[in-house]
Amino acid sequence: MNDKLKMKILRYAVVAWTMIPFFAAAQKLTFTPQWTPQSQFAGYYAAAEKGFYRQAGLDVDIVHFSTSLNAVEMLKSGVSDIITCNLMEAMKQRDAGLPLVNILQTSMQSSMLIISHTPLDKGWLSLNGKRVGRWRAGYSAIASLVSREQELQIEWVDFLSGINLFMSGAVDATIAMSYNELFSIMETGTNVAENQLIRFADSGYNIPEDGVYVTESFFLKNREAVVRFAEATRKGWLWVKDHPEEATDIVMSVVRKHKIPTNRHHQRMMLAEILRLQCLPGETEPAFTLPEIQWDYLNALLLETGDIHKKIEYRNFIKQ
Q: Would you tell me which residues interact with another protein (CB under 8 A)?
A: 67-68, 131, 136, 157-160, 162-165, 167-171, 183, 186-189, 259, 261-263, 265-266, 268-269
How far is residue 113 CA from its own chain's centroid?
Answer: 16
- Closer to another protein at the Cβ: 243 or 264? 264
Cα gap 301→112, rounded to integer Å = 16
Cα gap 62→84, rounded to integer Å = 11
Nearest approach in angstroms of CB 99 to another protein is 25
Nearest approach in angstroms of CB 285 to another protein is 25
Nearest approach in angstroms of CB 167 to another protein is 5
The DSSP call for residue 203 is G
Nearest approach in angstroms of CB 122 to another protein is 24
- Closer to another protein at the Cβ: 181 or 210? 181
- Closer to another protein at the Cβ: 157 or 303? 157
Judge contact between 170 and 144, C-beta under 8 A.
no
- Closer to another protein at the Cβ: 8 or 136? 136
Nearest approach in angstroms of CB 38 to another protein is 12
| Cβ-based neighbour number of residue 218 at 10 Å | 22
Backbone dihedral region of 303: left (phi > 0), alpha (psi from -120 to 50 degrees) or beta?
alpha
How far is residue 65 CA from its own chain's centroid?
Answer: 14
- Closer to another protein at the Cβ: 68 or 77? 68
Cα gap 15→80, rounded to integer Å = 35
- Torsion angles phi and psi, residue 215, rounded to 5: -80, 155
